[in-house]
Chain A
């Protein structure tokens, strides 16, 4: 269960990016999985080049994620904002395919590893690896930093204002275009950061983002749209669920349970379980 909680925080961080973009812009970002994979490769390349502590390298990954997110926003997303949702779905799906195609050409689909490990601690027969604990701590710190940014800073408040009511925000002098670009860039940077954290735990390929994208959808639905901190809690809940049920059933059944939960939550709590609590 502790393992589940630790990995759950990384699921939560991944989902925060998706949730932010979905909530603020009403765009279902299908580049999410591909960007998670890019975050993994970003960490791999930086680690191979500099051999620094992998968790310090998160900062440049986030910075590159922000730049990349801005670029994707202006090239592919800005033009479809306000159009039917299918347009943004297709547009982000196209970017996803471009990233996967280019990634496969460069790195093939062979597995890569970030060979960095921190010492863990042992309780009885069980050992908790240092990387799991460091990744979970980093995920929580980034999530809290985002929450502070959204509630305590001017640009953060502008993002929330645009999410609540774009027209009213514009009447108050907020440039919604700049705010949308910023929100998209932050969402992409969060996805890249979660990918970078996952790369310190498990081997990965350019296709590895897909499964985390699916988990992000489950977490986002659990949390409710546009509630980043709720996504962190929902991620922890999902991780906890995985950790709690696996001793009793074969691991192959986990996706069935996760997506069963997804359907139940959609029916019973269409606005997400945390959204209901907040209301």
Chain B
């Protein structure tokens, strides 16, 4: 009897050990509270949908083994850099994360990257466009978003085609992402011959924009470009509308991409957003689901359509999955080599990482689109792709009022 019990226990222990070995632990934090909450939640849903679909299909298959994806951590970083530093260390040292996904936003990712590089762990980044982090000689950092320098190029090109004599105002959040986006955009606007009538950054927690709006009115621009993240972007749009500022076009970063944007009603209409991905963008997927299948599964699970943060989150998982399959292993060096060799089109678009040491991991394959909130025939606010012209689903509404 004693022998039987010991044998049973040994078999059980063996089974337990082997099932643990068959898991891939992925760590990340979510901004469950704080200013980045809205966008971060959308990114998390992308991670989650990918995990559920992969596990339902039997897990990631590499060299004859099936690895189930398991999320470790999933802590609340409170939209706070200090928490990110503590929690990424914890996920690596205590929670045994094999791979990491980034938190949401450039500033949080820059901090997480210091930790993951220090411990030699691969981190795929989503929701992080600022490019400087990738010029610091990192070896295991891979960016899914098109870099910040790309965000507003399309807007200015579109404006050049539509209204080459427009005067432009830049009003943007004083945070690493928006500064990294707006600084090259200002130079590009001047290069295209636009008159930049006004430019000012505001503190990230600003809720009262009246002083800045008064300055914008005094500068009389035709077009306002700027914003930062959801709370400030939505507030700025609402107050521009309430103050009846006479603008022909408003382009804001990040915030208008969220499905929640339509809750602003008339203040939401006409606002343009540079987007990493929209459901209307029809890339022929060489790997993973089609855009339509992704959007359908996402909407069925969460009852809202996916934003580009959600698509970026899903794509993070998908590209890591492919790299593990290609490497036939979960070994960091082998998976990193597979990621370096990645050059593929998925529903999210093309993904290719720079491999030169001075920009390693920077996204060089992905391109952006411009979306605008417009009213359809029934008066409902919907997001339409307006640029590039080849991929548009509607014409740009210009001027908006």
Residues of A within 8 A of B (CB): 3, 7, 104, 108-111, 113, 115, 117, 120, 122, 125-127, 129, 131, 201-205, 208, 211, 242-243, 246-247, 250-252, 254
Q: A108-B32, A125-B217, A203-B231 are in contact. Are A251 and B246 (CB under 8 A)?
A: no
Distance, CA A101 to CA B38, complexed state (A): 20
| A185–chain B nearest beta-carbon distance, Å | 28
Ranked 4 nearest A-B pairs via Cβ: A246-B211, A202-B207, A109-B33, A3-B210
Distance, CA A3 to CA B211, complexed state (A): 8
Structural contact, B214 and A122, CB atoms closer than 8 A: no
Structural contact, A252 and B217, CB atoms closer than 8 A: no
Q: Which of A110, A127, A242, A252 contacts B38 (CB 8 A)?
A: A110
Structural contact, B231 and A3, CB atoms closer than 8 A: no
What are 28 A-B pairs at a CB distance below 8 A?
A: A3-B210, A3-B214, A108-B33, A108-B37, A109-B34, A109-B37, A109-B78, A125-B218, A125-B246, A126-B214, A127-B244, A129-B242, A131-B242, A201-B208, A203-B207, A203-B231, A203-B234, A211-B205, A243-B211, A246-B214, A246-B215, A247-B214, A247-B215, A250-B200, A250-B201, A251-B211, A252-B174, A252-B203
Residues of A within 8 A of B174 (CB): 252
Residues of A within 8 A of B78 (CB): 109
User: 1/0 per residue B16-55: CB within 8 Å of A?
Assistant: 0000000000000000111101100000000000000000
Residues of A within 8 A of B201 (CB): 250, 252
B202 at interface, CB cutoff 8 A: yes
Distance, CA A115 to CA B234, complexed state (A): 13
Structural contact, B214 and A111, CB atoms closer than 8 A: no
Q: Closest B-chain residue to A109, C-beta based?
A: B33
Structural contact, A126 and B217, CB atoms closer than 8 A: yes
Q: Closest B-chain residue to A202, C-beta based?
A: B207
User: 1/0 per residue B197-236: CB within 8 Å of A?
Assistant: 0001111011110111011011010000000001100110
| B199–chain A nearest beta-carbon distance, Å | 10
B301 at interface, CB cutoff 8 A: no
B side interface size, CB within 8 A: 35
B243 at interface, CB cutoff 8 A: yes
Structural contact, B235 and A247, CB atoms closer than 8 A: no
| B32–chain A nearest beta-carbon distance, Å | 7
Q: What would 14 more interface pairs be, CB under 8 Å, given A203-B207, A251-B203?
A: A3-B214, A7-B210, A109-B33, A109-B34, A109-B37, A125-B217, A126-B243, A127-B242, A127-B243, A203-B231, A204-B207, A211-B205, A246-B211, A246-B215
Distance, CA A103 to CA B177, complexed state (A): 29
A-facing residues in B222-274 (Cβ within 8 Å): 230-231, 234-235, 238, 242-244, 246, 265
| A202–chain B nearest beta-carbon distance, Å | 4
| B144–chain A nearest beta-carbon distance, Å | 25
| B173–chain A nearest beta-carbon distance, Å | 11
Q: Which of B208, B215, B234, B242 contacts A117 (CB 8 A)?
A: B242
Distance, CA A254 to CA B203, complexed state (A): 11
Structural contact, A203 and B235, CB atoms closer than 8 A: yes
Distance, CA A203 to CA B231, complexed state (A): 8
| B79–chain A nearest beta-carbon distance, Å | 8
| B67–chain A nearest beta-carbon distance, Å | 33
Residues of A within 8 A of B246 (CB): 125
Q: Closest B-chain residue to A246, C-beta based?
A: B211
Distance, CA A110 to CA B35, complexed state (A): 7
Structural contact, A110 and B214, CB atoms closer than 8 A: no
| B105–chain A nearest beta-carbon distance, Å | 15
Residues of A within 8 A of B37 (CB): 108-110
Residues of A within 8 A of B238 (CB): 113, 203
Residues of A within 8 A of B210 (CB): 3, 7
Distance, CA A85 to CA B252, complexed state (A): 48
Q: Closest A-chain residue to B212, C-beta based?
A: A251
| A85–chain B nearest beta-carbon distance, Å | 30
| A173–chain B nearest beta-carbon distance, Å | 48
| A8–chain B nearest beta-carbon distance, Å | 12
Distance, CA A122 to CA B246, complexed state (A): 12
Distance, CA A201 to CA B210, complexed state (A): 11
Structural contact, A202 and B235, CB atoms closer than 8 A: yes
A-facing residues in B168-208 (Cβ within 8 Å): 174, 200-203, 205-208
Distance, CA A201 to CA B207, complexed state (A): 9
Residues of A within 8 A of B243 (CB): 126-127, 129
